[in-house]
Amino acid sequence: MASSKPAGSYVAAPRSTNFEFGGTAGALGVTLAVPFFSYWLTLACSENACPAWPMSSFIDFHKQGWEAMSSLDWWKGLWSWQATGVYCAWYFWTVVCWAVLPGKELEGVELRNGKKLKYTHNAFFTMALTLALIAITTFTRGVGPLLYIVNHYTELISAAAAMSFVQACFVYAQSHQSDIAAHFGYKNAIEQPMLALGGNTSSPLYNWFIGRGLNPRIGTFDIKSFNEMRPGLILWVIIDLAFVAKQWNDLGRITDSILLTVAFHSWYVLDAEWNEPAILTTMDITTDGFGFMLAVGDLLWVPFTYSTTARYLALHPVDIGLLGTAGILAVQLVGYTIFRGSNNEKNEFRKGNNPKNRTFLQTERGTKLLTSGWWGLSRHPNYMGDWLMSWAWCLPAGFSSPIPYYYVIFFAILLVHRQMRDDEACAHKYKKDWETYKKIVPSRIIPYIY
């Protein structure tokens, strides 16, 4: 680890006083709601029926989910050791790929103690190798192995929820390792790991949820960045492919709509894996701790609910034709240009490069804030591009049901909430400089609108 600040000039575990997500009660609510809603989304839209527009569909959605859940057999079928084994094997495979595949060593941003952590950049190769193996297996053995995912979907959701819970408990205990050692008489034997500024409140449940440790690691294995890029994101594409296999199996052909949705999802994930270094300047890595919230988001929510549109299209095929395809492609291209252009611009700038001579605000904190180019349009142009793309992913499903639009709605809520959290964190980090920056760039996400 490189160091530019004198050691000891920072506090590893400052007390946090600010609560997000409604504090302890909110943390408990989200912890229970995430697995519950993931099951519900799956149950509410089955092969036989999926709620249709208009608004009464939300009542159908509720009724269908509730009816399925009120059967004891359904609850019994939630857990299987076999599916849990399959899920653990998948997780283990991604760890092995991280350990053995070639990859560049990257340095993260400077931490509060002046040090920079090292990360291995080989998520793209993990994905490429995994997809190649899936292609070979499907070619030689047919779609059977992929259909396992479709047929054991809720059991796999349970396995991912369990893995998230175990990891959250592990990293929580790890964040207390120096206290535990001191309790057994080994005071100062283990160095206090650096905690996230928002994760050390007086509420243990809240800390467990929001993440106490900033960068929990086992040796050089960085649990947070690993979970963000590999086991969940790549699984999302595999689940999508399983739904393509399901459509092929049931319909005997593959519709243009599912192809488009799955191609967009795959593009998004491959692009994220290829640009893996960009993650190192994101809020998740630089600011948030790793707790149940990120674990369950990465491992359960992303793969199992982001694939909802693909699942809908497998169960309720739609043909959109050439004109529809062209229109949706245009939405995707515009969204991608804004999303990738702005993320790359910030990432390059944070590395000290400014090839287009963008204007910036020099802050007292030492870092600079871009004030022109993409980052002169709004304070989160990357969110705008990301949200635009989310429309392109859902539009192939047509307008018969609101269920495939779950992602557009959820993502809007996520991004607005995230923007509010980031603005608050930046106001805290940059103090009066942030007020000046807000005057130069007044829009939050969409220029002149929000």
Q: Please identify, using beta-carbon distances, which residue of 84 and 354 lies nearer to ligand NDP.
A: 354
Shortest spacing between CB 286 and ligand NDP, in angstroms: 6
CB 209 within 8 A of CB 30: yes
Does the footprint of ligand NDP cover residue 372 (CB under 6 A)? no
Shortest spacing between CB 375 and ligand NDP, in angstroms: 4
Does the footprint of ligand NDP cover residue 369 (CB under 6 A)? yes
Does the footprint of ligand NDP cover residue 308 (CB under 6 A)? no
Does the footprint of ligand NDP cover residue 264 (CB under 6 A)? no
Does the footprint of ligand NDP cover residue 380 (CB under 6 A)? yes
Tokens representing 352 are 């000290």
Q: Please identify, using beta-carbon distances, which residue of 60 and 423 lies nearer to ligand NDP.
A: 423
Does the footprint of ligand NDP cover residue 346 (CB under 6 A)? yes
Q: Please identify, using beta-carbon distances, which residue of 50 and 157 lies nearer to ligand NDP.
A: 157
Shortest spacing between CB 360 and ligand NDP, in angstroms: 7
- How far is CA 5 from each of CA 8, 13, 110, 217, 351, rounded to the nearest angstrom? 9, 18, 10, 22, 18
Residues 60-89 that bind ligand NDP (CB under 6 A): none
The span from the CA of 371 to the CA of 378, in Å, is: 9
Does the footprint of ligand NDP cover residue 343 (CB under 6 A)? yes
- Amino acid identity for residue 286 in this structure: T
Does the footprint of ligand NDP cover residue 158 (CB under 6 A)? no
Distance of alpha carbon 42 from the chain centroid: 19
- How far is CA 51 from each of CA 13, 70, 180, 319, 407, rounded to the nearest angstrom? 49, 18, 51, 19, 16
- Mark the segment that binds ligand NDP (CB under 6 A) among 27-35, 115-123, 194-202, 376-384: 376-384
Residue of 196, 382, 405, 433 that binds ligand NDP (CB under 6 A): 382
Tokens representing 257 are 């709509």
DSSP per position, 119-161: EEE-HHHHHHHHHHHHHHHHHHH-SHHHHHHHHTHHHHHHHHH
Nearest to 128 by CA among 226, 24, 237, 240: 237
Distance of alpha carbon 298 from the chain centroid: 5
Q: Please identify, using beta-carbon distances, which residue of 60 and 438 lies nearer to ligand NDP.
A: 438
Does the footprint of ligand NDP cover residue 290 (CB under 6 A)? no
Number of residues that bind ligand NDP (CB under 6 A): 23
Does the footprint of ligand NDP cover residue 261 (CB under 6 A)? no
Does the footprint of ligand NDP cover residue 282 (CB under 6 A)? yes
Tokens representing 419 are 């923007």
Query: Pattern 410-429, binding to ligand NDP, x per CB under 6 A?
Result: --------x---x--xx--x
CB 212 within 8 A of CB 195: yes
Residue of 39, 339, 393, 405 that binds ligand NDP (CB under 6 A): 339
Residue of 44, 238, 370, 377 that binds ligand NDP (CB under 6 A): 370
Residue of 61, 90, 383, 393 that binds ligand NDP (CB under 6 A): 383
Instruction: Give the β-pairing of 118-121 and 221-222.
Output: unpaired
Residue of 367, 372, 400, 436 that binds ligand NDP (CB under 6 A): 367
Q: Please identify, using beta-carbon distances, which residue of 165 and 349 lies nearer to ligand NDP.
A: 349
CB 212 within 8 A of CB 196: yes
Does the footprint of ligand NDP cover residue 409 (CB under 6 A)? no
CB 350 within 8 A of CB 356: no
Coil, helix or strand at residue 10: coil
The span from the CA of 33 to the CA of 229, in Å, is: 24
Other beta carbons within 10 angstroms of residue 298's beta carbon come to: 25
The span from the CA of 223 to the CA of 430, in Å, is: 29
The dihedrals phi and psi of 161, each to the nearest 5 degrees, come to -65, -40
Q: Please identify, using beta-carbon distances, which residue of 64 and 305 lies nearer to ligand NDP.
A: 305
Residue of 248, 375, 393, 406 that binds ligand NDP (CB under 6 A): 375
CB 212 within 8 A of CB 294: no
Return residues touching ligand NDP (CB under 6 A).
281-284, 286, 339, 343, 346, 349-350, 367, 369-370, 375, 380, 382-383, 386, 418, 422, 425-426, 429
